[in-house]
Structure 1
Amino acid sequence: MTATAALITKDPRRARRKVAFASAGTPYLFVAPAVLILMCLMGIPILLVIVYSFIERAVTNPDFTFVGLTNYTEALTDRKFHDALAHTVLFTAGSVLAHLVLGLFFALVLNSKFMPVGLRTSLRALFIVPWLFTIAATAVLWRLVLHPNGVLNSVLAAVGFDAQGIEWLSSHALALPTVIAVNIWAGYPLFMISLLAGLQSISPELYEAASIDRAGRVQQFFHVTLPQLKTTIVSLALLDAIWTSQQFPLIWLLTGGGPVNATEVAPTYIYKLAFSQYEFAEASAAAVVVLLISLLLAVLYVRSNAKAVKEG
C-alpha cells in the first residue's frame, strides 16, 4: 500500500484537503518563475522610481532628503510637461483612430467574397509588410523617404506638386502629423489581422437573416458586423492606446522630440529630463503620473476583457 493510499484510509478528509490544496496550488507554481522575473525586471525599478519621486535630487543625493510632493508640483506646473502630455494625447488618439479605420477597411477588403483567392492572398501579404519591420528599421526607412531630397518629395514633384525641399520632419507644423502618419503605417496590420479574424468568425446565418429582413449592405454593416466586432474593437483600441502612449523609440529616432519640442511626447520628455538635464527626481514624478494614466487604461482593458468573457 502506498503512502497516499494509507493516508486516505487513515484520514480521508485530511487527504482530500491536501489533494485539493495541491491541485489549486499547481498552476501558481508554473507561473511563479515568470512572476519572479517580472518582479525583478519591472516591479523593483517601478518601486525605485516611486521612491525617487519623493526625495530631493534623486540618484545624485546620497542623503535621500524627503521632500513630499514638491517634485510632483514642479512636474505638473511645467509647461513643457503640459505640451508633452498634449502631444501624447494627439499622437495616441490620431494613431488609434486611424489604426481602427484602416485596419477595418483592409479587413473588409480581404474578407470580401468577390475577390479572387490569389489576389486576396497577395494583398494580405502586402498589407502585413509594415508589421515585419522593427522600429529602428521603420525609422531609418521613413527618414530616407521623408528627406527633403527623398522619395516622397520626388514623387510629389513628378505628379505636379511643388514639393521641392519640404522638411517633413524638421517643420514645426508638419513634424507631429508626419510622425503620426509613420506610426499609423507601422501599426495598422495588428488591427487588420485581428478584425479579419473577427469577421471570419461571424456566422453567415446572421447575414442571411438580415437579408431576409431586406437589410442592405450598409445596414448589415452597422447592425450585424460592428456589433459582432464590438468586443474586439474595444480591446484592440485600449491595448493600442496603452502601447502608443508609451511610444519612445520611433519618435526618438525620427525627430528626437523636435523641432523645438514639436513632437515632444511624455516618454521623450521624461528621458531628456532625466538623462540630459539630470533632474532624476522630477523625471521620476512625471513618470509616476504617466504610469497612473497607463494603469487607468490597463484597468479599462482588463474590465472590458472580463465583460467580454462573461457575455461570451
Structure 2
Amino acid sequence: MSIEQLAETAQAMVAAGKGIIAIDESSSTCAKRFAGVGIDNTEENRRRYRELLLTTPKLSDYISGAILFDETIRQSTSDGVPFAKYMSQNGMIPGIKVDKGTHALAGCPGEVVTEGLDGLRDRLKEYYGLGARFAKWRAVINIGEDIPTGTCIEANAHALARYAALCQEQGLVPMVEPEVLMDGNHDIETCYDVTEATLRALFNALYEQNVLLEGTILKASMVIAGKDCPDQADVDEVAESTVMCLKSTVPSILPGVVFLSGGQTDEQSTAHLNAMNQLGNLPWPLSFSYGRAMQQAALKLWSQDLVGNFAKAQAIVYERAKENGLAALGKWEG
C-alpha cells in the first residue's frame, strides 16, 4: 500500500460523523461479558454476537470500521461471507488487534508493558491477506504512588512506534493506543500531566522510527479524574482539559483522534466527545472507538432471547452508533 493509500484509509477511518466500533475483546474477556448476562461462552455464540454487531442494518451511516479479534477475522456470517469481506462490501474498514496483552515490566513494580513484537511482521502480512486494512496496539499506563515512571512510558512508546512502523511496511494503518487508566483516586490535573508526558514520548518515538503520521490514527484516553477520586470534573472541564492536552502534544498532520470509553458510562463517553467537538477550532477530527459503551445495552437485551431479540439488539447498536456519530460532529442533544 502506498503512502497515499495509507493516508486515504486513515482519513476514511475518521470521516465526518463516523467512528470505529471496538469488538476486539479476547475470548477470556468475552467470557466475562457473557457471564455477566448469562450467555454460554461458546465459539458459535461469540460468532453470532459479532455478526449481530457487524450486520446491524445501515451501521455504516455512523461506523467507518471495526477492530476485530484474531478469532473474529477468521469467522463468517451465517451465510458464509467472511466478516472482513462483509464489512468491505458494506462500506466499513476491517481492523485487527495485534498486541499480545500487557505483562509486568521488569524492575518497575505496579507497571506493565505490552508484548507482541516477536513475529509481528508475519502476522501483519497474514492479516492483510485476510482483509484487514488497519491494526491496533494498546499500551497501558497506570497512575499510582510514584508511577508511572519514565521507564514505563518510554518502553511502551518505543513498542508502539516499532509496531506502527511494521504496520505501515505491510500496508496497514496503525492505530496507536496509549491508555492512561481511570483506575485510582488521582485528580484530573494528575491525569493531564501523565497523559501529556505519555503523548509526548509517543510522538517522539514515532518520529524516531520514521512512522508516517499522515497514515496513523491515535486512540486516546480522555483527561479525566480517577474513578475513586471524590472530586470528579464536570463534562466541560473534561472536554477542555482533553483538547488542551491534545493540542499541546499531537501534531496537526495526524488525520484524526478516536477516543476509548475506558470505563465511562455510555452517556458520559458520548457527552464528553460532544462537548469537545462543540469547542470547535480543532486541528484534527475527534471521534470515537468505543467497545463497551457501544455494546453493553445491546448485549443485555440480546441475552434475554438470542433468537427473538437479535433485530431489537441491532436497533440499540444502531442508536448508540448514531448518538456517537452526532457527538463526533458536536450535534448530540442528549
With the shorter chain as reference, the TM-score category is: under 0.3
TM-score, normalisation: structure 1:
0.26
TM-score, normalisation: structure 2:
0.24
Of Structure 1 and Structure 2, which has the larger fraction of its residues in helix?
1
Q: Relative CO higher for 1 or 2, CA cutoff 8 Å, sep ≥ 6?
A: 1
Of Structure 1 and Structure 2, which has the larger fraction of its residues in strand?
2
- Find the structure with the greater CA-based Rg: 1
